[in-house]
Structures are given as structure tokens and as C-alpha cells.
Amino acid sequence: MFVRRLARPLLGSIFAVGGLDAVRAPAPKVPRAENVHATTIARSVGLKDAEQLVRANGALQVLGALALAANRMPRLAALGLTASIVPTTLAGHRFWAETDPATRAAQRLQFAKNMSILGGLLLAVVDTGGRESVGHRVRRRSGELIHNRT
């Protein structure tokens, strides 16, 4: 219990900081977002341009981080952050496209860091807090029904 209460805000902290930065100052992130067709994606979800998409993504990261830290629907919050970190990583840390060895190494490290965070988020998505999962409950009850019929 204590570890979860400590781990969730720690895991969310990077999203709170990065998301707030994206909301306040999206411009530096827009060119990298364009590498993954952010304007097209923005328009498909009813936004004007890549800058609005960067801001919206940042706002969602802040909300997800706060929900995770406050233990409010933590599995759903972690799932939302998971959906956010994948395109953010693909747009922001394209180490394979870098020609400068130092920049390539730095971007590879950031990419790996984000993959580590993704792993933590996936653990948070499946963490039931010690309670029986829905899938396990269904399988157990199905087995009980079959067992009681025989």
C-alpha cells in the first residue's frame, strides 16, 4: 500500500512537469511533432494545428499525472499516459534520424528513458491494488458454475 502511494506520484511527476511545459510553451515542440504528421492528426480530432495538439497532449498529461498521483482511477490515468507517451516519444526522440553522434546518443538515452517509463505505466495499468481482477473473477466464477453443475 505504501509503495503504491509513493510510486504513483513519482511516476506521474514527469508528465506533470512535461505536460505543463507543453501547455505553457508548445512552440519548441511543434517542429518535432510535425515529424509524425501532427497537423493531420490535430485536424482529425477537431483541432486547428500541431501547436493545439501539443497543448492538448500536455493538458492530458497534466490531468493524467494528477489523477495518478491522487489515486483517482489510477489504472485509467496510467492507460491515458501510456497512450500519450508513445507518440510523444516517437516525435521527440527520433535517435535513428540524427546524424550527429552526440545528439544521436542523447536522443537514444531519452528514448530508452521513455521506454522505461512506459514499462512503469503498463505495470500501473494492470495493478489492481491487491484486489482480484475482473478477468480472474470471471474465470473463477465460471469455474464455480461449471463445478456446481456436475
pLDDT attached to residue 123 = 94
**Which range (64-73, 100-109, 128-137) has the least confidence?**
128-137
**pLDDT at residue 150, as a whole number:** 61
pLDDT: which is higher, 48 or 131: 48
Share the mean pLDDT of the chain: 90
pLDDT at 129: 76
Residue 11 has phi, psi (to 5 degrees) of: -65, -40
What are phi and psi for residue 12, nearest 5 degrees? Answer: -75, -20
Residue 80 has pLDDT above 90, yes or no: yes
Percent of the chain whose predicted confidence (pLDDT) is above 90:
67
Confidence band (pLDDT; 50, 70, 90) for 145? low
* Cα 137 to the center of its chain, rounded Å: 27
Full-model pTM? 0.81
